[in-house]
Amino acid sequence: MSFVLASRFLKPGTPALVRYTGLVLTDSIKRYSSTRAPGSVGCLIIGDEILNGKTLDTNSNYLAKACFQHGLELKRIAVVPDAQEEIADSVLEMSSKYQYVFTSGGIGPTHDDITYESIAKAFDLPLVLHEPTIRRMENIKSAQTGKRWIFTDDPADVVKARERMALLPTGPNARVEYPCPHLWVPISIVDNVHILPGIPKLFRDLVDDYFRDFLASSQRFHRLLIGTAQLESTIAKALTDIQADASRQDVKIGSYPLWAAEGQAGRNVRVVVSVVGRDQASVEQWAQRITAAVDGHPYTPSV
């Protein structure tokens, strides 16, 4: 790297920790963009608490729904522990394959919050104390409390913990966005990797506003559901044959059995068939054909 500020104080391979002053960094950054599928999304959930069962991940499901609504295809969800190498390796792999990558978790003030530094390492970038985020934290906290809140007024260890949440990867392929006016929490973006918090309420708010204001939606998806009382093995061949024809119009058919028959509008439902595509007329056409083939009817999920 050509950027050497503070590097003599660091061990080899450690991202530089410097204070952001608006300096434009001119390091040569590795990019991983040659094979990205347009409109594709990867999701990386980060945290030991997910893997050991302490916390139930709901963020990947929320992201999946947001992608579907905006015409993006979530292609992969992965979960990794709070381990720098695993985070860095997974981020680079996803970044090379998908147009957008979203991470969740590991950006708080404690020792096990290592997502920023792991992604900085992955892209060979320094970590920088981002002054605009510090000022935003002060301003929003002041507005919430009704009195002037100063970042440095608290004990040194508290200030250091807060600074940890504003040490962001910085370089020519990195930027910071603040999608939510009521939150100081940024989305730090490195190349195509979007770094989000793991707290579900913050994650949802940031995803909602970022998708609405910053991402260009593709042609949206349409989905119809069909319920049938027939067994899945009974309708398997019919669905296989229909999928072979429907694939020519980029329509996907899925089959999802229910463990116990579900009563709906006076009918038993043993299998739910989904029809998904970008062209609404095509989706409706194939849904009609499937309805006739499986002796089905329109299905509305109970939740």
Structural domains in the chain, CATH included, are 7-213 (3.40.980.10), 222-298 (3.30.70.1130)
pLDDT of residue 262: 65
Helix pair 232-246, 280-293: axis angle to 10 deg:
150
pLDDT of residue 153: 82
pLDDT of residue 34: 57
- Helix then strand then coil, in percent of the chain rounded to 5, is 35, 25, 40
pLDDT of residue 127: 97
Range 137-171 burial, b when 16+ CB lie within 10 A, else e: bbebbeeeeeeebeeeeeeeeeeebbbbbbbbbbb
pLDDT of residue 173: 95
pLDDT of residue 4: 28
Pairing mode of beta strands 193-196, 98-104: parallel
CA distances 273 to 56, 61, 243, 281, Å, are: 27, 20, 12, 17
For CA atoms 189, 194, 195, 199, give the dihedral sign.
Answer: positive
pLDDT of residue 210: 96
Q: Which of 272, 284, 191, 220 is nearest to 246 (CA)?
A: 284
Q: What is the pTM of this model?
A: 0.84
| Whole-angstrom distance, CA of residue 11 vs CA of residue 15 | 9
pLDDT of residue 284: 98
On whether the CB atoms of residues 72 and 36 are closer than 8 A, the answer is no
For 38, the enclosing helix (H) or strand (E) is: strand 37-46
Query: Which two structure tokens, joined as six digits, stand for 255?
Result: 């089959």
Sheet of 267-277: strand order equals: 252-264, 267-277, 222-228, 297-298
pLDDT of residue 20: 36
pLDDT of residue 229: 94
With a cut of 50, list the residues of the chain below it in pLDDT.
1-32
